[in-house]
Structure 1
């Protein structure tokens, strides 16, 4: 069972129930070599890791490990009482071309050693192979998946989506895997893309698969272990990650940060305050023996990785995941490629319509966010008067700053450098008031203003434009003083006009006529509408924090 708790972009906070235990996602699983454990799993648990992943194929091939795992279980083998996921040998298959185990046999083995989550023995297909080879591998993986599902018992089973770098094939594979009774879905065959910093292609692979996988199951992005990728991967809808990087990088003298990787030999000051970095200096670590140096780097790499997972979780909770993804993307040009590719995908249906934090404009890429696209798509739902009145952006709430309100005669709008056009009748709806931007405009903002104003003005008989907006190039009557449009905000006809507009904007064209005809309102002490009535019957409330209507059952 996978329960969603919070969302932002396509990112999710979830609770995965495994044998009575609830594990929260996003979840990072350090890769454990069952033969060599420099840092014990139970020590990782103290660092904040709720689970680990180990290789059942290695365990099965080693007689001593196999017998111990079969007798006492994989948890006892690792001396770890948290979640244990086991891989099936697909990595060895990709590295060496073959494995000495059958696909059904390895699923049965994972179940027999008490793995919490097992993985099918899929055929990992690397990037850039021929289409015929990739299709053949996908077909074989699907066949193995069909045969593996009935064997899982009470073990959660993970089915892997392959398809190389062919988006259409990834989509087809996702539909096939997603149609089976798996508990977790995975996206595999992507480590070479990450290793070569081909993040644009990585985004295409992940998005092609994820949009065809069921939304009620977590998604594991195999091999994603560098924290610089966690925010982007979560924004694409991935929930579980595994990291061998913490150990592999440490062995090679590499120091992981959320912005990239540093060489220990080049570090003068540790840019981190984890227990390792706050108790030693780079020079002291360099002077350690090989094992001590690797141990220190492994610990740091683990600390910084779990810290980034926590940072991503907090960003999802507060609705600021996009800002975190953007910040991480600007740490490397190729990661920025991936971010810009991600912006081309439509995730509006996944992104929450309201959030607990304000919308921050941080640059031109903010104009491609789901919130902006959603608003522009809903503008056409709102009924319009005969005369369009355009006012410059100002302090919010706009109606109080200007002392004006829309009427049947004058449809007053703000020319917004973030949302294009904001009709005053819906200004209270998130995030039209709940957003912030720098005072200086980017070129892209000016272009948005011009295109939105021109398009929106087409359906009006008369257009009146504040003189500060002459740069928009809109033909109309110019004015300097907005106070000429000052009207009583609480007049019955103006209140009904506003309520109709909010209903249309929120629910769709025609909702205002159906729900708000003749509606009246009671006002809160904050001078905002709080309760909506039809006669003496309470029909809705207007939520103070986001301006949305909550209909009375």
Structure 2
């Protein structure tokens, strides 16, 4: 596996580079000019003849580099040992992929991919294949891609497609668009103005639409917005919507490949958004990692359109009403799709980066998700008094869900705010103060990113100054920027005993980046975008993960960690 490298990840979808005569950016449409095939093993009189023919084929390309498809079917040819210094592709299927994965090919070709018809079969097959082959190899699904299903295929983990399906459909007068395939005679006015439509060349039009869609999908991966696009695109036909919903049931497959941070806005526009990895991961970490400050009073507040919430007009008004009472009150924001957002985590991804349609109407699925999350939170953390400043269907949801609270009606008018003030004054009488909010914020974020107990380990005896956390000797331990934690080497030393989010490397001193071949072991919890601690025999460093921990260990190419700081120790 020396001729394919993954460069960027957006869930199971990846941008990569296939190094042939030309460097091909994946996802890509593979052309017949990019590969040669040894053909069926049954065309040869013996396994030795198949091996020799493949080696001769590779030598004949000494003046250029193409992908060489090894003899197939692989379950018959699996004992043929072919040693060639060239990009290799193995034709495989679910029944033999685990054995074929030992061949360390650059590309794995899914046999008979074009015959997969059912949504469940597609999802199960692609996930099983992807889980079985090396992470730094490409998956090719022949005769399957169309402009309408391409984004879904790439989202599920496909790296390479071809134009066979749309070319064949063109010969049968089937006209492809991003919104589906139609019989040409059923369309009274063509929606496309390309030269091929003008000349009546449907096949060329179909290929053009597939190429255009591929360019758009690659750009979505670059911007980290492929999931949003897929949620829109699967509405074309019911089986694609079913496929996405079935894929979301494989939460582990998606979560292990999904970055912990994206730069853009996460749009939650569909019911499928509630099942996004980012949403489920956020709530899971709030419930299992986050520990709120010890407080007697919990204040439940509605979300706001502006993020972080504290920068919105409504939350500034709530804060002005609280005044000095804020040091006695723990704040929890209720929202969809994230359900519950502690004030200390309002600026982490995706709490500060999502947008959703605001109608004031909560459907049954949203209500159930909110209540299950809130109940789980309240089972773990007890309060003497809960004040709920909510209104409308959010108020109905809490009331019908049996949340015992002082309900103050919600709103930002003078009378609404006065009710809130009076309720808080009563609740805060005799309540315990919660301590330094900035220190609590650091503790909460470190727990969120590194696991329970990490926050206490790094904040012990520390103080906050500006955006940094410093120990008693004035040495910086960590800083917060846009909701993300950046460790210093001193901060890393405090967290080392927890052995969490640690990447262990060999006996060398990295400069700038840590490449996957240099990784000896890595915490399985690590996801792309995580802050990690790099440890070697004589080295300590900090940086951002570029791939998941399990992928660092299994990959032979690619950047595992971008270092920010490091030193020999």
Specify the alignment match of 2:247 in structure 1: 342
Please point out which of 428, 435, 444 is paired with 2:347: 428
Number of the residue aligned with 2:302: 392
Residue 99 of structure 1 deviates from its aligned partner by: 4.7
C-alpha offsets along residues 502-526 of structure 1, whole Å, 9 cap, x if unaligned?
0000111111111123443344xxx
* Deviation, structure 1 residue 7: 1.4
Q: CA deviation at 1:322?
A: 1.0
Is structure 2 residue 447 aligned with structure 1 residue 504? yes
Q: Which residue among 147, 155, 158 is the counterpart of 2:80?
A: 147
Equivalent positions of 1:428-507 (< 5 A) are 428-440=347-359, 441-459=362-380, 460-468=382-390, 469-472=395-398, 473-480=401-408, 481=417, 482=420, 493-507=436-450
1:80-116 per-position Cα deviation (integer Å, ceiling 9, x unaligned): xxx61134445xx9xxxx6567643553354244261
**What is the alpha-carbon distance in structure 1 between the residues aligned to residue 300 and residue 179 of structure 2?**
43
Task: Report the Cα offset of residue 425 of structure 1.
Answer: 0.7
Note if contact 2:148-2:177 (Cα within 8 Å) is conserved in structure 1: yes
| Helix, strand or coil at the partner of 2:255 | coil
Contact 1:496 1:517 in 2 (8 A): no
CA contact (8 A) 1:117 1:155 kept: yes
Is the aligned partner of 1:552 residue 2:499? no
Cα-to-partner distance string for 1:363-394 (whole Å, 9 max, x where unaligned) = 11111111011112211211123443321222
Distance in 1 between the 2:373 and 2:448 partners? 17
User: Is contact 2:145-2:153 (8 Å) kept?
Assistant: no
Compared with structure 1, are the counterparts of its residues 271 and 146 closer, same or farther at alpha carbon in structure 2 (3 Å cutoff)?
A: farther
Tell me by how many angstroms 1:199 deviates: 2.7
Q: Kindly report the root-mean-square deviation, in angstroms, between the aligned alpha carbons of the 2 structures.
A: 2.6
Q: Is the deviation greater in 112-121 or in 198-207?
A: 112-121
Is 2:83 aligned against 1:161? no
C-alpha contact 2:268 2:354 (8 A) present in aligned 1: yes
Decide which of 442, 449, 456 is 1:513's aligned counterpart. 456
Whole-Å Cα distance in 2 between the matches of residues 87 and 25 of structure 1?
A: 20
SS at match of 1:147: coil
Question: What secondary structure sits across from 2:109 in the alignment?
Answer: strand
Task: Answer yes or no: is 1:85 the counterpart of 2:35.
Answer: yes
Alignment of structure 1 residues 276-355 onto 2, 5 Å: 276-277=196-197, 280=198, 285=199, 293=200, 296-346=201-251, 347-355=254-262
Distance 2:138 2:174 in 1: 31
Cα separation, partners in 2 of 1:101 and 1:335, compared to 1, 3 Å: farther
Instruction: Provide closer, same or farther for how the CA distance between residues 11 and 363 of structure 1 changes in structure 2, counting only shifts above 3 A.
Output: same
Alpha-carbon distance, 1:269 to partner: 2.4
- Tell whether 2:286 aligns with 1:376: no
- The 3 A distance-change label for structure 1 pair 433 and 86 is same
Structure 2 Cα separation of the partners of residues 470 and 518 of structure 1: 44
CA distance in 2, matches of 1:337, 1:452: 25
Distance 2:203 2:59 in 1: 31
Give the whole-Å Cα distance in 1 for the aligned partners of 2:247 and 2:143.
19
Conserved 8 A contact 2:38-2:68: yes
Tell me if 1:410 matches 2:347: no
Structure 1 contact 85–118 (Cα < 8 Å) conserved: yes
2:338 paired with 1:419: yes
Q: Does 2:270 align with 1:363?
A: yes
| Change in CA separation of 1:89 and 1:375 when aligned onto 2, cut-off 3 Å | same
Aligned-partner Cα distance in 1 for 2:274–2:98: 32
Q: Which residue of 2 aligns with 1:247?
A: 167
Q: Distance in 1 between matches of 2:439 and 2:124?
A: 46
Partner of 2:108: 185
The runs of 5 or more residues in structure 1 that have no matched partner are 30-51, 54-82, 124-140, 164-168, 286-292, 524-529
CA distance in 2, matches of 1:342, 1:509: 29
On the 8 A contact 2:308/2:346 being kept in 1, the answer is yes
Q: Report if the CA contact (8 A) 1:364-1:442 is conserved.
A: no
1:237 aligns with 2:184: no
2:327/2:435 contact within 8 Å kept: no
Q: TM-score scaled to structure 2, two decimals?
A: 0.72
Aligned CA distance change for structure 1 residues 326 and 110 (closer, same or farther; 3 Å): farther
Distance change (3 Å), C-alpha of 1:306 and 1:110: farther
1:276 deviates by 2.5
CA offsets per residue over residues 224-278 of structure 1, 9 Å max, x none? 231222111111111111221232122211221122212222222222243434x
For the residues of structure 2 that align with 1:371 and 1:248, how far apart are their CA atoms? 39
**What SS is found at the alignment partner of 2:132?**
coil
What is the number of equivalent residue pairs in this alignment? 439
- The alpha-carbon distance between structure 1 residues 157 and 408, as it changes in their structure 2 partners (threshold 3 A), is farther
Deviation at 1:475, TM superposition (A): 3.2
Structure 1 equivalent of residue 97 of structure 2: 174
Q: 1:302 to 1:475 in 2, by over 3 A?
A: closer
